[in-house]
Structure 1
Amino acid sequence: MPWRTGGLLLAVLVIVALPYMITRGSSNESFQAGELVTRSAEVQALVYRVADRTHAAESAIQHLLADDPSSRAEAAALGAENEIPGLLDELRRITADNAIQQHLVEQLSVVENGRLALLHQALQRFQHNDRAGAEQALRDADALFHVDEVADKVVAGAEQSLRQRREAARKQSHDSLLVLTLTSAAQLLMLMIVVIVSERQIGRRLRAEVRERQAVQRSQMILQAVREPIALLDHNLRSLLVNAAFSELYGVSEESRAEYLEDIGQGAWADEVLLQRLRDVLLRDRELWDFELTQRTIDGVERHVVINARRLQQQDSDSPVLLLTVSDVTARALVEQQVKELNHQLENKVAQISDVNRELEAFSYSVSHDLRAPLRHITAFAQKLEDHLGEQADTTTRHYLGVVRDASHRMAQLIEDLLVFSRLGRGALRLQAVDMRALVAETCALAEAEAPGRRIIWRTDALPTVVGDENMLRTVWQNLIGNAVKYTGQREIAHIDISVRHEDDGDHEFIVADDGAGFDMRYVDKLFGVFQRLHKASEFPGNGIGLANVRRIVMRHGGRVWAEGEPGHGARFHFTLSAIEPPPPSP
């Protein structure tokens, strides 16, 4: 990770580079301090040389004046004039970093130049035999230019500078020792950190290697436990690794290596098209998906298999490998064959049902046309017979003729209801968003208008919008609400509740409850049958077809219907519809 590399670089810097830099800096400072000390000593030596050369020149001139001629004395006097300026220049150079000493050296230079000038004057007067002038020049030099005082000042300044520099050197040495001590402590700390981090890193690596080995072992266990045959092939389609399922199905050892795929399983993989497709996967990195093949495996059974293959790149090699998986779909193929046979049988059944539907349609046509005509004739001729008899018909005859007409009307109504019931089972659903609240309000208003003088107390929940055939759902509400109004006819004040609730599966459950005549639950299965009635027609009129229509419509919408009741305590009718939200209205 980047922070580890940065940490190691910092450690190297602290452990190696920083001590080197500090040691080098201390060495340079110590060297500079030594040079300064040496320079102070040189200043003293040069000052002493200047003073010594000056005194030597004066002594030589005095010897000349004392009638002690000597060529050396004259040469010494002349040499001082030539040597002392060079010594003063050297003093200026080595005191260039110290303004105070530079000032003292300039004073010394002025004094020396003046004294040397008088000494030179004394030497010239001597050479011209002016002894008195020469002696006066020497006395003037000694009185006017005090070289020793200025030299002592220069030496004292050099000694003070020397002491200061020695103190600075001592302090620098102390600071260097402190820095080296701190650096050593930092080195030890960094070494400890490096050791600890290294130990932790080694521990993490060892744990990672253990986890990796465990992961490899688990992967191998999973690979061997998978019941789907799996093989790993090299770029020449030779086996590198197979799992137990592959070994069991094709009779190849799990430890076998470098066995060509086409030689495995006694020719089970000898299909040239498949081998070419597998080579394409390796060469062009194309995945092979759901290649269906019929193979005879090592157990002699012909199996329908689906083969998938993809290329993998090895981390430690440039050669790709091929991962091959085999799915035995023999059972699925048999099922598909059975499904085909069942579909064929179903097609035959559908054809038979189509024939039956055509016969039903022919029957409906016959009922709607052939049976209605005789009924119309019976009704018409019964009326004509009554008109023909006129006043001659007695009460019994009129009663019989009335019965004939009523029976004809009832038969016509039964035929009409039967045709409606038949059409409800065959007509296509026209699905749309249906507002159940509006539909119920419309039905309740119509039912109340058809029962004038009745006192009915309605209680209606906030009903949702559903997806369905609006006309068919209107028929459902008309039958259920109409029955509630009809079977509460003997109540002075009727109570009818229309509610909705949500089932656990999310469907809407609609409920119509009344406090009317009710019914015996022993006969609840007859309620939704065609022409089934639990009350006499003289008590409550009707043909017994309404609830059958309700059941058929609800079932066509994917719902269910049931009822609860108790004689004299009313009934509750339930039906469910899907809670799928209706599609948004088109703009």
Structure 2
Amino acid sequence: MLSVILSSLCFDYFFAPPLYALSITPADIPAILVLISFALLIVRFSAVRHRIESQLLQARDNLQAEVVERTQQASLLNLTHDTIFVRDMSDVITYWNRGAEELYGWAPYEAVGKRSRDLLRTVFTTPSDAISAELLETGRWEGELRHGKADGTEVVVASRWSLRRNENNQPVAILETNNDITDRKRREEEIRSLNSELEKRSTDLEASNRELEAFAYSVSHDLRAPLRHMVGYAELLQKNSSGTLDDKGSRYMRMILEAAKRMGNLIDDLLAFSRIGRVETQKTQVNLEHLVKEALSEVRQETNGRSIVWKIDTLPVCYGDRSMLKLVLVNLLSNAVKFTRPQPKAEIEVGCVDGNKNEVVVFVRDNGAGFDMKYVDKLFGVFQRLHHVDVFEGTGIGLATVQRIIHRHGGKVRAEGVVDQGATFYFSIPKI
């Protein structure tokens, strides 16, 4: 304002007649008003210019700071080996980091400015319209894509998209991060293929087992009738011709009858073994202590006149088929009784050891004949025997039956032994 007043006085003194005198006449007033208006306009323009210059300087400083920050961010993005690039809403690449160059093979100057779908030959596993809708709605999208590389090969990537919006909430760019999962997908495909093959083989094996069990049952059942005839006529021959047979003939006759008896036992055991594979398990809560007592009552007849020290530890309640588990205990206890026969004082123990939290591990231990651990894999095979039949009788099916029952319960069977120092058999069954 002061400058306006001084300008008016200077105009009156130097330009308005009379010159060099401060006198204002009515005729001077319009010129003075024009001068004042012109001066005010100049002041106004100067203030606006000053404000605009200040804003431009502030914008320049802000832009420089943003350029520094963006440069630092770009440098950090280039330090990672992850694949990162940015594209605008027209799918044109605007940023391409070193990780993208390493994975795809294009340098930044080759990729920037190109449409990503055209450059990478993108194959979507999800419709692109659905991806765009989800990205606009949530600001994010994750999924798997197939991309082409500069050398012509393909990669499968786990892709993550993040949408960037401006201050007006308008979408302006998409940040895409990709991780190469080609090897993982190939392994998953191999695993699926192996599982499919395993499932097919398992189905075929189950069918073969069913056929084998049916065959074994049929053969065993059909063998009973001719065997009964053979035993019956051999007994009649022994009875009616005992006076005419010499010692050798009588011994031959006994051998025939003993062999027929062994064959009958084999047939019975084979029938029982094949029957286990066909019978459905009826699982309930089973008190193992009660079951051991019942099994002992069945094998007591094999212990007449013998000195056996029995040790039955505290046993828990488990979950399984009661009749099948009883057969397991009967077979194991009967084996222990049989193989401790040469001992003057036999010791047999039934107990439980720690397993995992979902199973019960029961053992039957004896101080009998034992076995060589190098033959342990033969113990649970059908008709597999480690001792001659003249020393210890049996058909070689008992332990195979034990293993089949425990496997049907989802458990495992194993054995430990030392020759002439006894053996221990373990089996696991589910807890309640």
Alpha-carbon contact 1:281-1:309 (below 8 Å) kept: no
**Equivalent residue, structure 1, for 2:80:** 225
1:416–1:299 CA distance, 2 compared to 1 (3 A): same
Q: Which amino acid aligns with 1:412?
A: G
Residue 572 (structure 1) aligns with:
423
Identify the match of residue 134 of structure 2 among 276, 281, 284.
Answer: 281
Deviation, 1:340, is 5.7
Question: Which of residues 327, 331, 334 in structure 1 aligns to 2:183?
Answer: 331
Distance 1:305 1:374, change over 3 A: same
Secondary structure in 1 matching 2:151: coil
Residue in structure 1 matched with residue 26 of structure 2 by the alignment? none
Instruction: For 1:240 and 1:432, locate their aligned partners in 2 and report how far apart those are by CA, in whole Å.
Output: 68
Does the 8 A contact of 1:235 with 1:282 survive in 2? no
Residue 486 in 1 paired to residue 338 in 2? Answer: yes
1:461 to 313, 321, 324: 313
Preserved contact between residue 562 and residue 573 of structure 1 (Cα < 8 Å): yes
Change (3 A) 1:540 1:281: closer
Deviation for aligned residue 1:374: 2.0
Is 1:374 equivalent to 2:226 in the alignment?
A: yes
Match of 2:169 among 318, 329, 339: 318
Instruction: Report the AA paired with residue 575 of structure 1.
Output: Y
Does the 8 Å CA contact 1:498/1:511 hold for their aligned counterparts? yes
Structure 2 vs 1, CA of residues 268 and 485 (structure 1 numbering), >3 Å: closer, same or farther?
A: same
SS in 1 for 2:382: coil
> 1:217: how far off?
6.8
Cα drift, residue 347 of structure 1: 6.0
Structure 1: which amino acid aligns with 2:348? I
Q: Provide structure 2 residue ranges, at least 5 long, that are not aligned to the other structure.
A: 1-67
| Equivalent position amino acid for 1:444 in 2 | L
Change (3 A) 1:504 1:223: farther
Distance 1:502 1:397, change over 3 A: same
CA contact (8 A) 1:519 1:565 kept: yes
Aligned in 2, Cα 1:403/1:219: closer, same or farther, shift over 3 Å? farther
- Change over 3 Å in CA distance of 1:241–1:547 after alignment to 2: same
Question: Partner of 2:363 in structure 1?
Answer: 511
Identity of aligned residues (%): 34
- Matching residue within 274, 299, 305 for 1:447: 299
Q: Which SS does the other structure have where 1:380 is aligned?
A: helix
Q: CA deviation at 1:403?
A: 2.4
**More strand as a share of residues:** 2
Separation of aligned partners in 2, 1:498 and 1:539: 25
**TM value normalised by structure 2:** 0.67
Give the whole-Å Cα distance in 2 for the aligned partners of 1:269 and 1:333: 17
Amino acid at match of 1:244: R
Q: 1:417 pairs with 269, 283, 295, which one?
A: 269
> Whose radius of gyration is greater, 1 or 2?
1
Task: Pick closer, same or farther for the CA change 1:332–1:507 going to 2, 3 Å.
Answer: same
Provide closer, same or farther for how the CA distance between residues 219 and 527 of structure 1 changes in structure 2, counting only shifts above 3 A: farther
Which structure has more relative contact order (CA 8 Å, sep 6+)? It is: 2
| Matched residue type, 1:225 | T
Which residue of structure 2 lines up, in the alignment, with residue 266 of structure 1?
Answer: 119
CA contact (8 A) 1:288 1:310 kept: yes
Change (3 A) 1:573 1:551: farther
Residue 457 of structure 1 and its aligned partner are, at CA, apart by 2.6
Gaps of 5+ in 1: 1-212, 583-587
Paired position in structure 1 for 2:4: none
Contact 2:77 2:84 in 1 (8 A): no
Give the AA of the match of 1:299.
Answer: D
Conserved in 2, the CA contact under 8 Å of 1:235 and 1:319?
Answer: no
Q: TM-score by structure 1 length?
A: 0.52
After TM superposition, give the deviation of residue 244 of structure 1 in Å: 2.7
Alignment partner, residue 159 of structure 1? none
Cα deviation, residue 301, structure 1: 0.8
Residues of 1 paired with 2:282 and 2:140: CA distance?
A: 47
CA distance in 1, matches of 2:403, 2:290: 22
For 1:553, what is the secondary structure of its paired residue? helix
Match of 1:496 in 2: 348
* Amino acid aligned to 1:541: E
For this pair of structures, how many residues does the alignment match? 362
- Letter aligned with residue 225 of structure 2: A
The counterpart of 1:559, out of the listed 412, 416, 422, is 412
Q: Which amino acid aligns with 2:259?
A: A
- Whose helix proportion is higher, 1 or 2? 1
